[in-house]
């Protein structure tokens, strides 16, 4: 193969921007990875020659489709659905489905791109994909959600399968939606198979899956603190979000002796200086999963707390630890500065890309511990990978065993990040977890792609 002059980082990013106009989230996710990978590839000409990063940043395919459904007032509604199959070099496409009005192609492409690196980091054989629709589940009846899910799956089923692409939940898609979609897949195909993860225990779900993302983010946080000789016990934490990831992250912080001060939703946040204990967390879980209410209701029930509305975010509340567990770009440069100024020493992302690039720079400059979502929240998809194994083997592992496996998986991811992200003596032993996650995640996918030749 001829050794060609390869493009530099700036030329590469110019190309990405040109080919993906009006897709800022996707460009942001590629930028964050590309700066580390270009440094790593500097002396590795084979990755340049084979255009590996260029190929990972171009989804294998994107399916876009119309989703029609009828609301309770008999209006016909039309939504747009997608599945982005980013890369299947190391296993079937794997990644969640998001139902939220903000969903568009840019958001799903960034999520599928990130998922490719995240899934690689778990060490399990899973490629990267993501899907969703611009459907807003807020305020919809169960029957409306069911009809939407059935219509969505009526198109999606032909693109997925246990050996090709295995979706799961994400924002707006939890146990209820997975149930409706699995039921429709089974009805259309006549096959009971492990085509979705995040299923309920009665029909092939895995124990520990609901807890895995939030618990995993706290295990990762503990691993980072331990690496510096510190611990979660006795520390305060600010958490954003109030869904599955946030409530389980809060639960694990409390179990490890920490004190959780905040939770939020898109309307605002609650600040409870007495601490959000297990009893309060259980109340929030019921509020979100059963009553489907808003976090502001917390203050009517627990008078120790105050509510901050108008979309306020919790990053000005002083705490030792921060766990953004809501959504992308929910923590910007000013928020990061406020956290650092208030003495925050570690950030672990339960959400996908919650911190802007400028926010990440603030954390790095201040040399505080910072774990990007693709490493810190990988516990969720890792247990999804274990759900796939259990479905294939037609077995079900117990809670204890899965808990141990999750702990080990998160330790493994932390070790890989340290291996590739430790800046050693040149930077006072600081570990750049973004760099570590990017390089470790990239290397496995890239080496598999090299083995396949030009495909
Ligand atoms: N949506 C989750 C994530 O961002 C889980 C994906 C899965 O379990 O496949 O990783």
Beta strand pairing call for 268-271 and 165-168: unpaired
Mutate to test the pocket of ligand 1, among 91, 95, 113 (most ligand atoms within 8 A of CB): 95
As annotated, the residues of the chain forming the CATH 3.40.50.720 domain(s) are 211-371
- C-beta of 235 in contact with ligand 1 (< 6 A): no
> Measured from the CA of 197, which atom of ligand 1 is nearest?
8
| pTM given for the model | 0.96
Note the pLDDT of residue 426: 72
Give the atom of ligand 1 at the shortest distance from the alpha carbon of 352: 4
Atom 9 in ligand 1: which residue has the minimum CA distance?
A: 95
| Ligand 1 contact, 352 CB (< 6 A) | yes
Choice from 128, 384, 437, 441 to test ligand 1 binding pocket (greatest atom count within 8 A of CB): 384
Q: Check if 96 has its Cβ closer than 6 Å to any atom of ligand 1.
A: yes
Q: Which of 169, 245, 350, 385 to mutate to test the pocket of ligand 1 (most atoms within 8 A of CB)?
A: 169
Instruction: Output the tens digit of pLDDT for each of the chain's 455 residues.
Output: 444 557 899 999 999 999 999 999 999 999 999 999 999 999 999 999 999 999 999 999 999 999 999 999 999 999 999 999 999 999 999 999 999 999 999 999 999 999 999 999 999 999 999 999 999 999 999 999 999 999 999 999 999 999 999 999 999 999 999 999 999 999 999 999 999 999 999 999 999 999 999 999 999 999 999 999 999 999 999 999 999 999 999 999 999 999 999 999 999 999 999 999 999 999 999 999 999 999 999 999 999 999 999 999 999 999 999 999 999 999 999 999 999 999 999 999 999 999 999 999 999 999 999 999 999 999 999 999 999 999 999 999 999 999 999 999 999 999 999 999 988 767 778 999 999 999 999 999 999 999 999 99
pLDDT value of residue 422? 86
- CATH class of the domain comprising 61-192: alpha beta
Judge if the beta carbon of residue 197 lies within 6 A of ligand 1: yes
CB of 170 closer than 6 A to ligand 1? yes
Whether ligand 1 lies within 6 angstroms of the CB of 168 is answered as yes
Q: Name the strands in the sheet holding 321-324, side by side, starting at the edge strand that comes first in the sequence.
A: 306-308, 268-271, 259-265, 236-240, 321-324, 346-348, 369-371
Question: So which residues are the catalytic ones?
Answer: 130
> Which residues, other chains included, contact 421 with Cβ-Cβ below 8 Å and sequence gap of 6+?
431, 432, 433, 434, 435, 436, 437, 439
- The two structure tokens encoding residue 451: 């083995």
CA of 129 to the centre of ligand 1 (A): 9
Distance of alpha carbon 366 from alpha carbon 352, whole angstroms? 22
Q: Residue 69: beta bridge partners?
A: 77
Rg (alpha carbons) of the chain, rounded to whole number: 21
C-beta of 174 in contact with ligand 1 (< 6 A): no
Ligand 1 mean position, distance from CA 329 (Å)? 18
Q: Give me ligand 1 centre to Cα 380, in Å.
A: 6
| Nearest CA, atom 8, ligand 1 | 381
Q: Which atom of ligand 1 is nearest to the CA of 381?
A: 8
DSSP states along 55-67: HHTS-SEEEEEEE
Instruction: Provide CB contacts within 8 A for 179, sequence distance 6+.
Output: 199, 200, 203
Residue 377 in 3-state DSSP?
coil
Structure tokens of 223?
């691993």
Q: In 304-427, which residue ranges form alpha helices assigned H by DSSP?
A: 333-341, 357-366, 373-376, 378-393, 399-421
Q: Are 128 and 95 in contact (CB under 8 A)?
A: yes
Q: Which atom of ligand 1 is nearest to the CA of 118?
A: 10
Helices (H), 161-277: 175-189, 209-227, 244-255
Shortest-distance atom of ligand 1 to CA 167 = 9
CATH 3.40.50.10860 residue ranges for the chain: 61-192
Q: Is the CB of 244 under 6 A from ligand 1?
A: no
For domain 211-371, is the CATH number 3.40.50.720? Answer: yes
For the record, the structure tokens of 106 come out as: 């840019």
- Distance (Å) from CA 326 to ligand 1 centroid: 14
Instruction: For residue 259, count other CB atoms closer than 10 A to its CB.
Output: 20
Taking the centre of ligand 1 as the mean of its atom positions, its distance from the CA of residue 423, in whole angstroms, is: 30
Interval between CA 72 and ligand 1 midpoint (Å)? 30
What is the Cα–Cα distance from 59 to 375, expressed in whole angstroms? 21
How far away, in angstroms, is 170 Cα from ligand 1 center? 6
Question: Quick check: CB of 52 below 6 Å from ligand 1?
Answer: no
């Amino acid at each position: 193969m001829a050794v060609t002059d390869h493009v530099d980082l700036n030329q590469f990013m110019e190309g990405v921007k040109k080919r993906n106009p009006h897709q800022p989230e996707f460009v942001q996710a590629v930028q964050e990875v590309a700066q580390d990978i270009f440094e790593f590839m500097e002396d590795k000409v084979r990755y340049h020659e084979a255009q590996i990063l260029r190929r990972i940043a171009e989804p294998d395919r994107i399916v876009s489709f119309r989703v029609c459904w009828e609301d309770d007032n008999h209006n016909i509604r039309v939504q747009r659905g997608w599945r982005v199959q980013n890369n299947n070099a190391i296993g079937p496409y794997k990644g969640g489905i998001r139902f939220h009005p903000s969903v568009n192609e840019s958001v799903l492409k960034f999520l599928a791109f990130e998922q490719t690196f995240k899934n690689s980091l778990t060490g399990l054989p899973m490629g990267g994909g993501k899907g969703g629709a611009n459907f807003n589940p807020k305020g919809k009846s169960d029957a409306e959600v069911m009809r939407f899910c059935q219509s969505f799956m009526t198109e999606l089923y032909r693109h997925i399968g246990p050996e090709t692409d295995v979706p799961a939940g994400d924002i707006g898609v939890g146990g209820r939606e997975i149930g409706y979609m699995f039921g429709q897949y089974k009805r259309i195909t006549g096959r009971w198979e492990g085509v979705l993860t995040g299923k309920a225990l009665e029909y092939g779900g895995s124990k520990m899956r609901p807890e895995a993302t939030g618990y995993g983010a706290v295990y990762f946080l503990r691993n980072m603190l331990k690496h510096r000789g510190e611990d979660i016990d006795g520390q305060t934490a600010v958490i954003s979000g109030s869904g599955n990831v946030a409530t389980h992250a809060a639960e694990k912080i409390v179990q490890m002796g920490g004190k959780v001060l905040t939770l939020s939703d898109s309307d605002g946040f609650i600040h409870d200086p007495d601490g959000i204990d297990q009893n309060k967390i259980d109340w929030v879980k019921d509020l979100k999963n059963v009553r489907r209410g808003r976090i502001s209701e917390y203050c009517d029930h627990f008078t120790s707390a105050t509510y901050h509305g108008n979309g306020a975010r919790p990053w000005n509340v002083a705490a030792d630890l921060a766990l953004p567990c809501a959504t992308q770009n929910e923590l910007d440069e000013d928020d990061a500065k406020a956290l650092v100024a208030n003495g925050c020493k570690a950030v672990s992302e339960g959400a996908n890309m919650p911190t802007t690039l400028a926010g990440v720079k603030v954390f790095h400059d201040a040399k505080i511990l910072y774990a990007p979502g693709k490493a810190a929240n990988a516990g969720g998809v890792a247990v999804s990978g274990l759900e796939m194994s259990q479905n294939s083997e037609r077995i079900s592992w117990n809670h204890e065993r899965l808990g141990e496996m999750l702990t080990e998986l998160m330790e493994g991811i932390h070790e890989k990040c340290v291996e590739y992200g430790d800046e050693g003596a040149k930077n006072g032993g600081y570990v750049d977890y973004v760099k570590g996650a990017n390089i470790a995640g990239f290397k496995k996918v890239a080496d598999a792609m090299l083995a396949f030749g030009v495909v």
